[in-house]
Chain A
Amino acid sequence: MRRKQVLQGNIIVAKAALAARCNFFAGYPITPSSEIAQFMSRELPRMGYDFIQMEDEIASLGACIGASLSGRKVLTATSGPGFSLMQEHLGMAVMAEIPLVIVNVMRGGPSTGLPTKPSQSDIMQARWGTHGDHPIIALYPAFADEIYSETIRAFNLSEKFWNPVIILLDEVLAKAHEDIELPRKNDIHIYKEKIHRIKDLNIYDREIGENPPRVDFFKGYPIHIDGLEHDKHGWPTSDPETVNKMQTLRMQKIYHYLDEIVKFKEYYMEDAEIMIFSFGVSARSSLAAVKMAREQGIKVGLFQALTIWPFPKIPLKERFKQIKKVLTVELNMGQTKYEIERISLDDVEKKALLRANGIPFTPNEVLDKIREF
């Protein structure tokens, strides 16, 4: 069925998850994400699958880990305070290479902060929230159709790389009802990998750069999964050489595939002298501002990051050779601003439009900032 519908952003996430064959949800209600849990509680049981409302977000992600290891495709959804509670298990999922998808519908923080107001201030938490050096993938949709497609992509990436994938969603987009035309089932690409027979129980054994084989867990082989650093069998070790190898394996399974993982959109960039770097709802204000500026003859374009982690360093570096000025627009007190500063050239003039009081930017505000150059 292909027809226009009016759907809430949170519901688009949930529908996309089901289209990606998600068959397990565990969560704990929190504004502004609760509609995802509610939708899943209605749909999953009628499909014969499981929905659990756990006792807190720690347990929610824990249940997701258990279900994922058992062979389910799992989703949980939360917001800032809950995402904070999930960091411990997020690290365990990275360490033990367990696929799962976490939606963080961001709200103002820190602490309980601004429960019903938008904010883009969990970007660094998505990258470094859990302790230790680790690879992470975080996607950041801005438009209704992207919420759908990026949710599906999140499942595909997590399954392919055996890593948690975070979807960062803006409160306004999660709560807004927008027009969307859902793709046909046959047009949706779902990553499917063949299940590898396990040889010698070397479940983590592979060459550097290879993504891990799909593990047939709980089939009585018997396999050991650990949150401690482990060897190729999954057994705890602190042997420096093995630790080094395992850390490299985990990092490189992501960094060898940047072309595939890092996605972005560019608008009016061909002849741009000024580039706006933005994402989510701020990218939408920015796009409107770019169009207004173009009417006034200002050569400005927009780089919209869809993958925020790993940071789109390579495509941005290319653009920095062309542009003279860059404006970062984000609803926080300066998070990706520093990433941009790290990778842009010295002779590129840098500005940032920042705010963290719960009010999204209007296109006019972005336009005014463009004109400050």
Chain B
Amino acid sequence: MVQQRTNPLRKYIRNRKLPHFFCPGCGCGQILNYFLKAVDDLQLDFKKIITIGGVGCTARIPIYLNTDSLHGVHGRTLAWATGIKLYRPDLKVVIFAGDGDLVSIGGNHFLHASRRNLDVTVILVNNFNFAMTGGQVAPTTPFNSVTMTTPYGSKENTIDVCKLAVSAGATYVSRWSTAKPIQTVKSIKKALQHKGFSLVEILSQCPTNFGRYALRTGDPEKVLEWIKNRSISKTKAEKLNEHELKDKFILGEFIDKKRPVFQGTTLFKEEDN
């Protein structure tokens, strides 16, 4: 007789919120899974985690998690997190953000939270487009891609979010993809244990929008294949020149260092008196 077994990670999910709203083949489900795996491996207290989302497909992940959660307007997650973290440094704050949410509308907050080394973990789901609104160009959309707002191809340069984070002052930064579950889970674990601003960028397939418009395929496997073919490890990338690295996604860890975390714009010490 076949024994019915529930996924051991199911205990972290708000049962009443299922079924989820992600499209078949979307990477968000995988990423939710990787995050829960990381939490479970670390045996983190789920009651001490706040998950936050702005607006977007990615931003909906917190709705399914059985943590204290906040899901508000588009792009402002880091601003709320700043207010929360100052009063509740004991809590782990985890932000699920789409590429549009984090570096288009929320770009300014991203720079400053990195600069301040705000003690939060950002899980960036980079699906190369604005998925929720139906597949428009994002700051991460590859040059020349056709999207719903770039019918003749995108003529804008893309942003390297990891480079941006490092130069702005983030203290743990890595990039992986949904095709690299082991590395991604490991990296999320590191980010969750890191004290300071940690960013894990996960390249993810959006078959419904980016796939169909930019790659002319709605097949999740093919979109994933496209990501894999363009991905290259950091160690390999170090040996290549700029020309050879064109259109490549570099995977790996870009920084892991310690720096005092943000505690307020000005701090009073007795001797200041």
Contact = CB atoms under 8 A, between A and B. Distances in A.
Given A58-B76, A227-B73, A218 B265 contact: no
Contacts of B150: none
A69 B91 CA distance: 13
A52 B264 contact: yes
B42 interface: no
A46 B268 contact: yes
A218 B73 contact: no
A318 B148 CA distance: 58
A225 interface: yes
B71 A236 contact: yes
Given A59-B112, A70-B88, A224 B71 contact: yes
Interface residues of A, number: 47
A236 B53 CA distance: 13
B80 interface: yes
A164 B264 CA distance: 23
A63 B68 contact: no
Interface string A49-85: 0111111101111111111111110100000000000
A24 interface: yes
A65 B108 contact: no
Given A62-B76, A227-B73, A45 B68 contact: no
B264 A68 contact: no
A64 B268 contact: no
Contact of A62 (B80, B111, B268): B80
Contacts, number: 142
Contacts of A96: 72
B14 to A, nearest CB: 8
Given A26-B83, A58-B79, A66-B80, A51 B63 contact: no
A226 B71 contact: yes
A220 B266 CA distance: 30
A63 B78 CA distance: 8
Given A59-B79, A91-B73, 9 more contacts: A45-B267, A50-B86, A54-B112, A58-B109, A220-B45, A223-B69, A235-B16, A236-B63, A236-B71
Contacts of A220: 45-48, 67-68
A89 B266 CA distance: 25
A53 B264 CA distance: 8
Given A51-B264, A58-B76, A64 B83 contact: yes
Nearest to A65: B80
B268 A67 contact: no
Contact of B83 (A53, A63, A224, A225): A63
B156 to A, nearest CB: 23
A345 interface: no
A65 B78 CA distance: 11
